[in-house]
Amino acid sequence: MKRIVLLRHGESIWNRENRFTGWTDVDLTDVGVQEAAAAGEALKAEGFAFARAYTSYLKRAVKTLDTVLDVLDRDWIPVEKSWRLNEKHYGALQGLNKSETAARYGEEQVRIWRRSYDVAPEPLAEDDPRNPVFDVRYNGVPDPYLPRTESLKETIARMLPYWECVIFPALKRENELLVVAHGNSLRGVIKHLKGLSDEEIVRLNLPTAVPYVFEFDEGMRLQNDFFLGDPEAIRAKMEAVANQGKR
């Protein structure tokens, strides 16, 4: 049996403030750090011993991973970071409060921006200081690959090559891998692994810092997937994510 655990980062400052975050590099809240530690404890109780881990370039995911590995006493394992695991880029929406945006543009429009499969928000202007071309961490990424906005479809398109060429092949060599990233980049992985339709993936809301376990046989065929934790508590966290775009 081989296993990959997908973990969305813990609560960030802008999660708490209900803002569109995207590629903005915001920190975890104290609650987010506690959520990450609790995820580590849940994984420890199940006997996970990861051989390798992957995360994005964004602080909220990196700190979540660091906390989990510390709880597991596996700080020493190899960790690889990639911009391809970054959150969906929300363009000009980044920094705006979701509820206030819903009051201005309507809940349906915000739902489309947040959860539609192939509609992207308005892009950042080329001279906007938030444009990733001005961020030193992306100096090695060719300009055409750096988004000024993204739909979920585009997020999956830039994430999937990394999954197929780096992460999934590593599972052939190792038994357990951990991927700590973001709601939308991880939804892309889930869509791919479970063969979900464009409509089905739009309805999936990932809670913060709840381990999602995928089990494969030796032939790398998916056998089972499940969240670690109390089902009712997880359902409540999913509903909270879904309700972020309401007035």
For residue 47, with 0-12 CB atoms within 10 Å meaning exposed, 13-18 middle and 19 or more buried, which class applies?
A: exposed
Edge-to-edge strand list for the sheet holding 79-81: 79-81, 52-55, 176-181, 2-8, 212-216, 222-227
Point out the catalytic residue in the list 11, 35, 87, 176.
87
pLDDT over 90, % of the chain: 82
Query: Could you tell me the pLDDT band of residue 93, with boundaries at 50, 70 and 90?
Result: very high
Q: Is the pLDDT of residue 244 over 70?
A: no
Distance, in Å, from the CA atom of 18 to the CA atom of 62, rounded to the nearest integer, reads 21
pLDDT in tens, 99-145: 888 888 888 888 888 878 999 999 999 999 999 999 999 999 999 99
Our answer to whether residue 192 is catalytic in this structure is no
pLDDT in tens, 31-45: 999 999 999 999 999
Our answer to whether residue 182 is catalytic in this structure is no
Q: What would the two tokens of residue 127 be?
A: 């001279």
CB atoms within 10 A of CB 87: 25
Distance, in Å, from the CA atom of 220 to the CA atom of 107, rounded to the nearest integer, reads 41
Per-residue model confidence (pLDDT) at position 247: 60
Query: Could you tell me the pLDDT band of residue 161, with boundaries at 50, 70 and 90?
Result: very high
Distance, in Å, from the CA atom of 128 to the CA atom of 23, rounded to the nearest integer, reads 13
User: Please, what is the average pLDDT of the chain?
Assistant: 94
Query: Could you tell me the pLDDT band of residue 199, with boundaries at 50, 70 and 90?
Result: confident
